[in-house]
């Protein structure tokens, strides 16, 4: 089980019977449930005409409780509940709280310490192992190994989105906007922090490519996703370049859905990787 910010392909969800709770986005006073009322196709159009900056909300503990009870009643005895980094959302903590309340089913709440398809890779692997008969203990050990090898570096066009949402300090946002710096951001101890300030996007992309090369040499980057915020062509061009550099690495494309895109803004790009 996971939440809507994993942005997994529907084919993967159906194949492995993955369940999820949804976060939501509020735009001009109207709340939209992710993957139900709003998705990456209509989100950007709504935001462009919005009068105020959108906000996001995590699932309530009751949402978790209802789903946990539903899964218990279906005959499951254990749930591995993998969620958005605890450093940027209370989603994981609500999973813990609901897991402590529900009766007659074991809930293992797991903090991905990351977001989007980086988390999605963890969810897909856990579901694959569960379907092949893996024990919950073995699955958690594999998730820990993948999480330890995992990295995500990303670029945003406008730091103010992160600053407004409380995911990055205002001081860094001001510096970025005044000096036209293209900052590279990453996750450190569950939080989004500034990794490095680069003058142009081209140089920033080359810097991330250098970090990826080091990870490939170490064996930590066996599967890689280019993640984009409504800029597929740019993501595909980068994926194609990277594939030529590292032909033995599995490269794919994913996207920032509405909840994460609220904080990163249109035009954001990320590179995420881990072991297979």
Could you tell me if 141 and 171 lie in one domain?
Answer: no
> Residue 76 is part of a domain; what is its CATH number?
3.40.50.10170
Residues counted in the chain? 276
Ordered alpha helix ranges (H), the chain: 10-16, 40-48, 61-73, 91-101, 116-131, 136-149, 160-164, 170-179, 201-218, 232-245, 258-264
Query: Given 148, 167, 191, which residue is the final one in a domain?
Result: 148
Query: Any idea what DSSP says for residue 89?
Result: -
Give the three-class secondary structure for 158: coil
Query: Given 148, 181, 207, which residue is the final one in a domain?
Result: 148
What tens-digit pLDDT sequence spans the chain (276 residues)?
999 999 999 999 999 999 999 999 999 999 999 999 999 989 999 999 999 989 999 999 999 999 999 999 999 999 999 999 999 999 999 999 999 999 999 999 999 999 999 999 999 999 999 999 999 999 999 999 999 999 999 998 776 666 665 555 555 555 555 566 788 899 999 988 888 888 888 999 999 999 999 999 999 999 999 999 999 999 999 999 999 999 999 999 999 999 999 988 899 999 999 998
Could you tell me if 170 and 263 lie in one domain?
Answer: yes
> Residue 202 is part of a domain; what is its CATH number?
3.30.1180.10
User: Which domain range does residue 197 map to?
Assistant: 151-274
Could you tell me if 92 and 11 lie in one domain?
Answer: yes
Give domain status of residue 268, yes or no.
yes
- 69/58 Cα distance (integer angstroms): 19
Give the three-class secondary structure for 114: coil
- 184/205 Cα distance (integer angstroms): 9
Q: Which of 111, 170, 124 is nearest to 16 (CA)?
A: 124
For residue 197, the model assigns a pLDDT of: 84
How many domains would you assign to the chain? 2
Could you tell me if 10 and 128 lie in one domain?
Answer: yes
Give domain status of residue 251, yes or no.
yes
Query: Any idea what DSSP says for residue 242?
Result: H
Give domain status of residue 35, yes or no.
no
Could you tell me if 71 and 88 lie in one domain?
Answer: yes
């Amino acid at each position: 089980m996971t939440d809507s910010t994993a942005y997994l392909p529907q084919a993967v969800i159906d194949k492995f019977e993955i369940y999820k709770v949804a976060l939501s986005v509020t735009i001009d006073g109207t709340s939209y449930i992710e993957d139900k009322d709003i998705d990456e196709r209509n989100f950007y159009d709504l935001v462009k005409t919005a009068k105020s900056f959108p906000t996001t909300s995590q699932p309530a503990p009751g949402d978790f409780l209802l789903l946990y009870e539903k899964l218990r009643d279906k005959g499951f005895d254990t749930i591995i509940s993998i969620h958005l980094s605890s450093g940027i959302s209370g989603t994981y903590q609500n999973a813990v709280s609901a897991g402590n309340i529900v009766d007659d089913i074991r809930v293992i709440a797991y903090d991905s310490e990351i977001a989007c398809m980086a988390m999605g890779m963890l969810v897909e692997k856990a579901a694959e192992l569960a379907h092949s008969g893996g024990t919950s203990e073995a699955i958690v050990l594999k998730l820990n190994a993948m999480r330890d090898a995992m990295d995500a570096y990303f670029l945003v066009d406008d730091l103010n989105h992160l600053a407004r949402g409380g995911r990055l300090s205002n001081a860094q946002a001001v510096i970025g906007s005044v000096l036209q710096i293209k900052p590279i951001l990453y996750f450190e101890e569950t939080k989004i922090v500034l990794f490095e300030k680069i003058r142009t996007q081209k140089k920033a992309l080359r810097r991330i490519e250098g970090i990826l090369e080091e990870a490939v040499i170490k064996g930590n980057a066996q599967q890689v996703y280019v993640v984009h915020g409504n800029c597929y062509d740019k993501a595909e061009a980068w994926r194609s370049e990277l594939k030529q550099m590292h032909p033995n690495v599995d490269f794919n494309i994913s996207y920032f859905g509405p909840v994460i895109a609220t904080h990163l803004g249109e035009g954001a790009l990320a590179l995420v990787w881990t072991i297979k």
